[in-house]
Structure formats: C-alpha cells, structure tokens
Chains A and B, each alone.
Chain A
Amino acid sequence: MGITTFKPATPEQLADAVRWALDAGEPLELTGTGSKRGLGRPVQTAYALDLSDLSGVVAYEPEELVLTVKAATPMAEIEPLLRGRGQHLAFEPPDLGGLYGQAPGGGTLGGVLAAALAGPRRLSAGSARDHFLGVAGVSGRAEVYKGGAKVVKNVTGYDVPKLMAGSFGTLTAMTEVTVKVLPAPEDTRTLLLHGRSDAEGIRALTDALHSPHEVSGAAHLPESVAERIPAVASARASVTAIRLEGFGPSVAARLAGLTADLGGIDGVLDRDESLAFWRAVRDVAPFRASNPDTDPLVWKLSVPPASGARVAEELALALGDVEFFFDWGGGLIWLATPRETDAAALRGTLAPFGGHATLVRAPEALRTAADVFQPQPAPLLALTQRVKTSFDPRGVLNPGRLFAGV
C-alpha cells in the first residue's frame, strides 16, 4: 500500500493536514523521526504525518529551569545543549534504539514525552510526566491549542501536559513542548554488591532506599544479564548496584555512610564507569536486538518495588525460558521471553501483585494481535475512550496505537 506522507513545517500546516484527514475520513500515523515505531501497536493508515520539520529550540533559560522546543527536536540536539550549561533532563530519558536494532542517538523530545519514557532516576526524580510543563499542538479536531505553561509551578486549569505523556500521539499532534530542566549532578558513584540472589538484591536496594543517603539509581542484575554490561561483567556474579549523585563532598560522605549501613560492599564504580553502567541499564542494553527473526520478546513491568523478586520468580515458573533484570529498586522489571509467550498468561501471573506489563519489543504481527499495553478494566477503558474522543472524536490521530479503538 502506498503511503502518502504530509510533512508540515508549521502548526498551521499541521492543522490543515488534520483538517483534511477529518474531511477525507482518512486517519494519520504520526511520527517524529520514527525511532519508536516498534513501540506500541502498529498504526495501519494510508496517510502519515511526518512531524520532523517541527524542530528547533524555541527558548532555553537555564536560570528559570525551563526549556521550550518544537516537539520533534532531536534528543541528540537537546542533550549537548543542556550539558553545555551543566543541566539535564532529570528523568533520564532512555535511548531505546538498540532494542529495535537502530543506531544510538535517535528520537525526539516529543517522542520521549509521548511515550512517557524515563530511566533509572525515575526513582528519585520522577518520570517524563513530572517534568512536562507545557504543550502546544493540534487536536484531532484540527484545532491549535495549548495546555500547561512555561513556568515550573502552575496549577491553572487541567494539567494537560500530563495527559500527553504516554498518550502516544493518540490525542494531539504536539508542536511545541516545555520541560523542566535541572542541574546535572557534579559527581556520581555506584556501590556494587556481588552474588546476591534476586530477593537478597532487592532487599539490599530497599534498605539503601530507606537510608537518608539519597539513592538515585537502584538496580539488580542476575549474573547472565550483568555479564553483558562491560562495566560490571568482570564480577562473574549477580550485581546489585546503587547510585549516589550530587556534589563531590556529598557523594563521598554518602558513599562512606551507605557502605557502613550495608555492612560492607564489593566494589565501587567511579564516575565514568557509573555513567556507562547506568546508560546500559537505562537503554536496556542487555536485551539489545541482534536478529529480528529470533530476538526474544521484551516486556516492561511496572510493579510494587518490594515485590519485584517474587514477581520475577513467578514469571520464570510460569513462562519457562526467561531473562530479566530489575531497576527502580525492583519496581521496574525488564523481561525477555520466548516468542510464543502468551500475554494473557504473563499478565495473569502479574495480577496478584498489582502493576502492569507492556510488550516493548515484538514483531509487528504480534503487536497487532496481542495487547501491547495492559488491558484496562471496563469502566477505565470506557473513560479512556471518552478522553480519546474529547480530543479526537473521529479517531484520526494514531488510531489503535495504544489500545484497539483508542
């Protein structure tokens, strides 16, 4: 099927394209640079909306802690800009390109926000939604509108940007986004424990998170996973990793304090090793794509942190040949499973613990057939559908990307 792609350069052109789609009854697939097309349910439309021309920094005011960019501004442009002023996006957006066999450094800020992606610092600094202050865009009614604001503290009207986070382009084609930016830590260290079982590892992470030492990363990697991350491979054992960040003297003091609290540790990663290690955790490097025909499925499970080890244990029992590692103190499980894994069985195993599972990597056919995102109970799904309709009554924006019919 030949796909016609619109490539608007202004919000007005974008609105025209959506208006045309409404008139013609032809839904649109939205893309920034297409880096996350593998994430979510495939959208099957004859027309596409390429938003990549809506790119560029609109305003960066480091002292106000605010950055406004056109939505499709590449992450590769934003990261060095912030670094130049000693700042960063504190939610540590991952670069999932490797998971889909793409080169690193792809993606746009709009895409990161639309997919609500956050890295290890989710634990202490919050997620994409927590840093998303303002949005402008075109709704499925072809109307140009804005929500939120360009200041860090605002409660005027509904917090529309929050709703955009994780909406996968099903509500609004975003043209401009404003995010909170924060000072990047001056220094970083990572404490390591080796050879702990999953349960012991998560327990240690919980203890560290109960300390006053301001942990900003808490991951546990079973041996088979840890050996794929160069910074810790030499351990030849499971690795429990706890990150401390901040001003130099503070990191040094906390390192000493936490080491004592944990009754000794097995190693410390220096700044550069830490950065490399957490980047690998953030980007799910252990499950990097190698062969699109045989790569296992990858799932992202959000669970109550302290139950992480038990969830993984039950899943291993139920599903057989699986691999996993934990981030967010146990609250995030990255899980690789065989291709024939039944989504319903996986979610059934998860159910008693609370939380949800997203099928992050799978062949297109499977993502069309299976529930990529956790199915919602009927009343919630009905509300979700009404929210969708309130922005996009005819379903012209990324129909079906999130749920069938949404």
Chain B
Amino acid sequence: MVIPLVPGGVPGLGARNLPTENPDGEEQNGMKMPPPDPNIIAKRRELVERLRAIVPGEGVIVDEAELRAYECDALTAYRALPLVVVLPSTTHQVSEVLKTCKEMGVKVVPRGAGTSLSGGALPLEDGVLLGMGKFNRILEVDYDNRCVVTQPGVTNLGISTRVADRGFYYAPDPSSQIACTIGGNIAENSGGVHCLKYGLTTNNVLGVEMVLMDGTVVRLGGKHLDQGGYDLMGIVTGSEGLLGVVTEVTVRILKKPATARAVLIGFPSNEQAGDCVAAIIAAGIIPGGMEMMDRPAIHAAEDFLHAGYPLDVEALMIVELDGPAAEVDHLIDRVVAIANDHGAVSARASTSEEERLLFWAGRKAAFPAVGRISPDYLCMDGTIPRKALPLVLSRMQELSERHGLRVANVFHAGDGNLHPLILYDANKPGELEAAERFGADILTLCVDVGGVLTGEHGVGVEKRDLMTHQFSKTDLDQQQRLKCAFDPDGLLNPGKVFPELHRCAELGRLHVSGGKLPFPDIPRF
C-alpha cells in the first residue's frame, strides 16, 4: 500500500502521481512532510545538469522507474519519489553536491542501505536523495591500533567479516547487519542484542569525516581514543542524517570472546521474568545478550522455526554469557540458579554451539515469524526502566483490546528496550492508522513510565510528532539550535526528528531586558 505524503504528487514529473486510496485526496496518516516547493521542482533541469557536472555518467538518476527504488526505506508505509538521486563516490563529489544544493536552496536526504525503520531515509519530492552506496570500500585495517577505517557504505557485517580471520569483530550487531551500512548505523546510533555489554554505535566509533551542508569537510577523532574539543562525534552519531554527510568512519574492533553459551529460561509470568533480569544484574552479571519474548512472539517463532521453545510459558528469556570459558561456565550456573529462585519453569543451558545458535534462531527470526502470522506489522522501539515492564505489558494488552489489533513483544531485556510488533492488515481500510495510533499509545506510555520513544531505531518521521511528549519546547528548541550550527538553512533531511521547523534566525533570537538584578533571593557573597 502506498500513501502519498502530498496528495496528487508533484506536477511536471509525468505519470508519477502516487495512487491514493482516499478518493477525496485527503492525507491518510498524521505524518506530514514539508510541502514540496514548486520553485525548486521548476529548477530540476538546471539541478540535474549541475549534478551531472559533478558526478558524471550513471551517478545521477532521473528516470522514474529507477527513482522508484529509492522511494522508501524499511518504514514502507511512507513513500515519496525523490526529485533526483545522486550517487557520488568521493568526498570531493559529496562536498560539491552539497555546495550546489545549498546554493540552489535544494534539500538533501542522505541514504545508506535504506533499512531505517523510522523513515530516516524517506525522500523528499523536492529534494535530492544522496545515496552513499558507492562508498563501499574498507580503507584500512589497523590491527595494532585495533581499528578499521572504512567508507560509510560498507555494511556493518562487512567490517566484522573482513577482520574475522584474525579473530576480531565490530561489536554493534543490528539484526539488519547484512544489509545496513556503517554510515546508516552512525546516523541512527544503532544497537543490537549485545549492546548492554558492548555498547551502541556511539561507544564504538573513533572517528568520522563528514561534509557539512555548505560543503565544508571536517574530521572528528581518529585512531586515538579521545577526540579533544567538543564531542561533536557524540552529536553526529545518532543525528539521523540531519547534521552532515558522513564520508569516512573509523571504528574500533574487538577480539571475539573465547566462548559463548546461552540459557533458555521459561517463566509462568512476565513479572517473574522481569524480576529475574533485575536479579541477574544485581548479582553483578552483565550478560553478552539478554532477550525476552512474550507468549505471542514465542508461539510465532516456534511455529516458524521449531527451535524447541517451551509453549506453556508466558515469557521466555535467552541469556547469553560470553567470554573466557571459565567465566562462562561459572556464570551459567549462577544464572540458572537465579532463574530457579525466580520461579522459572524451565532453564536449559546450551551444551553445544549448534544448540546455542538454535536458541537464538527463533529470536532472530521473530520479525519474519510474526510476518507469517500477519500480513503487515509495525515494529515499535521504546525503552523503559525495566522495573516498569509488568505494568507496560499489561497496559499494552489493554491497548491491544482497545485498538482491536494484536501485539507480540520481543524485548532487549537487559537494557529495557522494547520491540512491540503490532499486527495489522494494510489492505483493511483504517488498520494502518489504527496500528499507528496503537504504536503512539505504546510509545507515550514508555515515556510516561520514565523511558523514551526510541532505544535504537531513531525518531525519523515515524516518531517525530511524539517528540513533544518526551521533550519540552525549550528542550527541542535547543536541539534545533544545534542543528542550526551545522546546517543554518535547514536543508539536510528536513521533516525528520523535529515536529516543527523553525528558522534559525528566529531560534537564535535572544530577549534580554533591563539590566538590574531582579532576583534578590539568590545567595551571593
């Protein structure tokens, strides 16, 4: 199903109007993108010419059928055809492209592999889509400094694969790792099942080269551990393509743990599972991975993969311990004991690598498994303080009934990152909208119990309008001022992350008055 962000599509682009299911042309979802600027669209020919002068040959795409390949990322409910796609292959080209776009007032959306689940790489109809796919080379493997210097279009797994023969790997491991790029990982600050112990992307990046919207190239960090100056890399990581285009990345690599074993633990209630997680951490154990699934997710996964999951439990946990064999064996015993103390009805420790992988197979296939029991699903991504888990799960059940849609939960239990999968059928009128409303209710619930809207997938367009639930206007204004420091014209990936766009001049204005001290109650000496 395709939903036009702007009814009627863009004039002047031939037969490219997106089908609309709503005859009166009204938008069907709440998420609006900035309206396309006809003046920009009118300059398309000039833009294309100028881009071709920078990126010759097939690097500039204008043909509608080819543009189609870029119309959405993994949040497929939102689509738009970009005005032009450009595929540069050098930092210099990126710089020239951005400079040209800035000169012409054209918006730019960077894109890696397009696996974003929040619509971060959703194109704009009056914008250039800047594909980083040609930046696909690993530039240097430096074992002595335990780092890899790479172009941003290399896949996450590509880095680990490259250093595997020497027993190294790149730690953050999003489930999409065969496809997603390291540039996209930086933009989203992506995580994975091992990030409680090994950190998110931000904790594993040493340096970036990045091009600002005015074409300036800056380098942050390097092979040394601390950047110096402001931690701009910390801001760029997780900035969802709004601050600059990353053209080179230095990541640290780690030696693979000597061994890994997993325990599969079943509980008769979510409360007991939640308590068990807390008890494991209170015992000083930080497992390599600690995942949880609720009943619907367990059943979907087991039906799909026959991993041997118990079906008579309400919650299933996979706790993986990794490290030296002596440590892993020692901790497995402790984890099993803790689980039994907390009412586990089954606790099986893997005794072989095959068995460990089988335990994981079901969890890793949870999304496709759910995809089998429902035509469509929305994957949510809130984080909560873990103690709120039982409350959140029971409220989610109520919400499920109210919205008339089923939900299955997989959960990075160690760090409180929930992935509720909302099941819906896009072909049934109104179901996507209901699913989105259900999703919004879940995320605001996460915030209300002290958590956040997104733990690893990013805000994008998906959660953009919920930002005001987590942040005050002052909080958001300050973040937007930061954006202004990088991109004063707001041309880089607009319409994402921030629910309202303000002009930088307006945001920068400062109202000072008087000059006397009207605050007599502040102690001073």
CB of A377, distance to nearest CB on chain B (Å): 8
Q: Is B324 a contact of A116 with CB atoms below 8 Å?
A: no
Note all chain B residues with C-beta closer than 8 A to A391: 478, 481-482
Q: CB-CB contacts of B193-235 with A at 8 A, as 1s and 0s?
A: 0011001101100000000100011111011111111111111
Does B384 make an interface contact (CB < 8 A)? Answer: yes
A120-135 CB contacts (< 8 Å) to partner B: 122-123, 126-127, 129-130
CB of A260, distance to nearest CB on chain B (Å): 13
Q: Is B454 a contact of A155 with CB atoms below 8 Å?
A: yes
CB of A387, distance to nearest CB on chain B (Å): 5
Q: Is B202 a contact of A64 with CB atoms below 8 Å?
A: no
Nearest chain A residue, comparing its CB with the CB of B482: A390
B82-90, B254-262, B356-364: which one contacts chain A? B254-262
Given the contacts A5-B525, A153-B383, A163-B231, A147 and B475 also touching, CB distance less than 8 Å: yes
Cα A145 to Cα B482 in complex, Å, equals 13
Q: CB-CB contacts of B482-525 with A at 8 A, as 1s and 0s?
A: 11111000000000010000000000101011111111011111
Q: Is B459 a contact of A156 with CB atoms below 8 Å?
A: yes
Cα A385 to Cα B260 in complex, Å, equals 47
CB of B346, distance to nearest CB on chain A (Å): 24
Given the contacts A13-B522, A23-B515, A212-B324, A157 and B497 also touching, CB distance less than 8 Å: yes
Q: Is A122 a contact of B231 with CB atoms below 8 Å?
A: no
CB of B520, distance to nearest CB on chain A (Å): 10
CB of A309, distance to nearest CB on chain B (Å): 12
Q: Is A150 a contact of B450 with CB atoms below 8 Å?
A: yes
Does B326 make an interface contact (CB < 8 A)? Answer: yes
Q: Is A389 a contact of B519 with CB atoms below 8 Å?
A: no
Nearest chain A residue, comparing its CB with the CB of B255: A212
Q: Is B284 a contact of A86 with CB atoms below 8 Å?
A: yes
Q: Is A211 a contact of B478 with CB atoms below 8 Å?
A: no
Cα A377 to Cα B522 in complex, Å, equals 41
Cα A187 to Cα B222 in complex, Å, equals 33
Pick the contact of A253: B167, B228, B324, B523 (CB < 8 A).
B324
Q: Is A304 a contact of B455 with CB atoms below 8 Å?
A: no
Does A331 make an interface contact (CB < 8 A)? Answer: yes
Note all chain B residues with C-beta closer than 8 A to A209: 146, 255
Does A213 make an interface contact (CB < 8 A)? Answer: yes
Does B327 make an interface contact (CB < 8 A)? Answer: yes
Does A61 make an interface contact (CB < 8 A)? Answer: yes
Does A57 make an interface contact (CB < 8 A)? Answer: no
Pick the contact of A4: B218, B258, B524 (CB < 8 A).
B524
Does B345 make an interface contact (CB < 8 A)? Answer: no
Does B458 make an interface contact (CB < 8 A)? Answer: yes
Cα A331 to Cα B206 in complex, Å, equals 12
Interface size class of B (residues with CB under 8 A): 35 or more
Q: Is B228 a contact of A152 with CB atoms below 8 Å?
A: no
CB of B228, distance to nearest CB on chain A (Å): 4
Nearest chain A residue, comparing its CB with the CB of B328: A250
Does A103 make an interface contact (CB < 8 A)? Answer: no
Q: Is B323 a contact of A214 with CB atoms below 8 Å?
A: yes
Note all chain A residues with C-beta closer than 8 A to B167: 212
Q: Is B231 a contact of A166 with CB atoms below 8 Å?
A: yes
Q: Is A212 a contact of B257 with CB atoms below 8 Å?
A: yes
From DSSP, what is the main secondary structure of chain B's interface residues?
A: loop
Q: CB-CB contacts of A243-255 with B at 8 A, as 1s and 0s?
A: 0001101101110
Q: Is A145 a contact of B522 with CB atoms below 8 Å?
A: no
- Total interface residues on A, CB under 8 Å, equals 107
Given the contacts A65-B281, A153-B417, A156-B452, A247 and B330 also touching, CB distance less than 8 Å: yes
Does B189 make an interface contact (CB < 8 A)? Answer: yes
Note all chain B residues with C-beta closer than 8 A to A265: none
Q: Is A206 a contact of B478 with CB atoms below 8 Å?
A: no
Q: Is B229 a contact of A402 with CB atoms below 8 Å?
A: yes
Most buried by B among A151, A157, A386: A157
Q: Is A302 a contact of B331 with CB atoms below 8 Å?
A: no
A14-22, A93-101, A273-281: which one contacts chain B? A14-22
Q: CB-CB contacts of A51-82 with B at 8 A, as 1s and 0s?
A: 00100000001111110000000000000000
Given the contacts A151-B451, A253-B327, A387-B482, A13 and B521 also touching, CB distance less than 8 Å: yes
Q: Is B145 a contact of A305 with CB atoms below 8 Å?
A: yes
A29-37, A233-241, A313-321, A353-361: which one contacts chain B? A353-361
Nearest chain A residue, comparing its CB with the CB of B486: A383
Does B286 make an interface contact (CB < 8 A)? Answer: yes
Does B191 make an interface contact (CB < 8 A)? Answer: yes
Given the contacts A153-B383, A156-B467, A17 and B522 also touching, CB distance less than 8 Å: yes
Does A197 make an interface contact (CB < 8 A)? Answer: no
CB of B192, distance to nearest CB on chain A (Å): 11
Q: Is B326 a contact of A250 with CB atoms below 8 Å?
A: yes
Given the contacts A153-B416, A155-B238, A332 and B281 also touching, CB distance less than 8 Å: no
Does B351 make an interface contact (CB < 8 A)? Answer: no
Note all chain B residues with C-beta closer than 8 A to A356: 224, 228
Q: Is B231 a contact of A162 with CB atoms below 8 Å?
A: yes
Pick the contact of A159: B202, B257, B384 (CB < 8 A).
B202
Q: Is B224 a contact of A355 with CB atoms below 8 Å?
A: yes
Note all chain B residues with C-beta closer than 8 A to A171: 230
Given the contacts A249-B326, A390-B484, A152 and B510 also touching, CB distance less than 8 Å: no
Note all chain B residues with C-beta closer than 8 A to A268: none
Q: Is B234 a contact of A210 with CB atoms below 8 Å?
A: no
Note all chain A residues with C-beta closer than 8 A to B256: 212
Q: Is A24 a contact of B515 with CB atoms below 8 Å?
A: yes
Given the contacts A214-B324, A355-B222, A249 and B330 also touching, CB distance less than 8 Å: yes
Q: Is A302 a contact of B224 with CB atoms below 8 Å?
A: yes
Does A106 make an interface contact (CB < 8 A)? Answer: no
Nearest chain B residue, comparing its CB with the CB of A123: B225
CB of A342, distance to nearest CB on chain B (Å): 19
Does A299 make an interface contact (CB < 8 A)? Answer: no
CB of B362, distance to nearest CB on chain A (Å): 23
Does A7 make an interface contact (CB < 8 A)? Answer: yes
Given the contacts A151-B385, A163-B232, A63 and B323 also touching, CB distance less than 8 Å: no
Note all chain B residues with C-beta closer than 8 A to A153: 191, 195-196, 200, 383, 412, 415-417, 455-456
Pick the contact of A247: B224, B327, B451 (CB < 8 A).
B327
Pick the contact of A16: B202, B327, B522 (CB < 8 A).
B522
Nearest chain B residue, comparing its CB with the CB of A250: B327
Does B278 make an interface contact (CB < 8 A)? Answer: yes
A23-54 CB contacts (< 8 Å) to partner B: 23-24, 53
CB of B169, distance to nearest CB on chain A (Å): 11
Given A253-B327, A305-B223, output 6 extra A-B contacts at Cβ < 8 Å. A159-B189, A160-B235, A163-B230, A212-B324, A354-B223, A380-B220
Ordered by A's residue number, 22 sampled pairs between the chains whose C-beta atoms are within 8 Å are A4-B525, A6-B524, A63-B387, A116-B231, A143-B478, A145-B472, A153-B412, A156-B453, A161-B234, A163-B230, A163-B231, A206-B144, A302-B225, A303-B224, A304-B142, A305-B145, A355-B224, A358-B228, A379-B217, A387-B482, A390-B481, A390-B482
Nearest 10 CB-CB pairings of A with B: A162-B234, A250-B327, A253-B326, A183-B284, A306-B144, A16-B519, A304-B223, A386-B485, A390-B481, A355-B224
Q: Chain B interface (Cβ within 8 Å of chain A)? A: 142-146, 167, 188-189, 191, 195-196, 199-200, 202-203, 212, 216-220, 222-235, 237-239, 255-258, 278, 281-282, 284-286, 323-327, 330-331, 383-387, 412, 415-417, 450-459, 463, 467, 470-472, 474-479, 481-486, 497, 508, 510, 512-519, 521-525
